[in-house]
Each structure stands twice: as C-alpha cells, then as structure tokens.
Amino acid sequence: MKTLYLIGGTLSLILGIIGIFLPILPTTPFLLLTAFLYLKGSKKWYDWLMSHPKLGTYIRNFQIYKAIPLSTKIVAIGLLWITMGFSIIWVVSAGWLKLLLLVIAIAVSWHILSFKTLK
C-alpha cells in the first residue's frame, strides 16, 4: 500500500509542478495531496517535500494560514489571462470553445481570489 501512496504522491507532485507553469492547473491542491500521500507512504519523502524551499512553502502557507501570497495571486491570475487570452484570440476558432475558455478563466480567477491574501 505504501508503494501506491508513493506513486500517487509522485504523480500529484508532477501535476503540482506543472501547475506552477500552467495557470489552468492548480498547484496548491496537488501539493497538498502530495503531502498527504507522502505522509502515508514514506516519512522520508514527506520530510523532503516539507523542507523543500519552494514546494514546502506552498504547503505550509496554505496549511497554516489558508491563504495565498499576493505575489502568487498576481502571477497566477496574470499568466492565466495571458494564456487564455492568447488562446481565445489566436488559437481557438469555435465560438463555444472561446466561451468555455472564458468561463474557465473567470472561474479559476474567482477561486484564486476567494482565498485570503497572505501578508
């Protein structure tokens, strides 16, 4: 069972890291899932994750404060709208798909903004 936790945690970690660069994919929920799965699978991997200078900070900030730093909100929402705007204007031709991308961008922005801002 521990092996399954480690595999699931690693897949979740990969998605979380991709989410740092791909605004439509959420980073924090995947990192929280990774922490949970690593805690069940291996204390060594959990300790590594929590002590990581970048990834551990995401998890600790959310676990302790249930908040997102202002700079993270700005970068995430900025990249989201740049990516979605580019896709809506130059990549997608179907009107229904443009509308879907717009709705997704609004929903993700709303979700990010719904969290407290970490000062």
Q: Count CA atoms within 13 Å of residue 75 on its CB side.
A: 11
Structure tokens at 54: 């970048």
Question: Which pLDDT tens digit goes with each residue over 10-26?
Answer: 999 999 899 888 767 77
Question: Which pLDDT tens digit goes with each residue over 80-114?
Answer: 899 899 999 999 999 999 999 999 999 989 998 99
Q: What is the DSSP string of 5-37?
A: HHHHHHHHHHHHHHHHHSTTS-SHHHHHHHHHH
Q: What is the DSSP string of 60-83?
A: HHHHHHSEEEHHHHHHHHHHHHHH
pLDDT, position 79: 86
Q: Is the pTM of this model over 0.75?
A: no
pLDDT, position 61: 84
Find out whether 3 and 45 touch, Cβ atoms under 8 Å: no
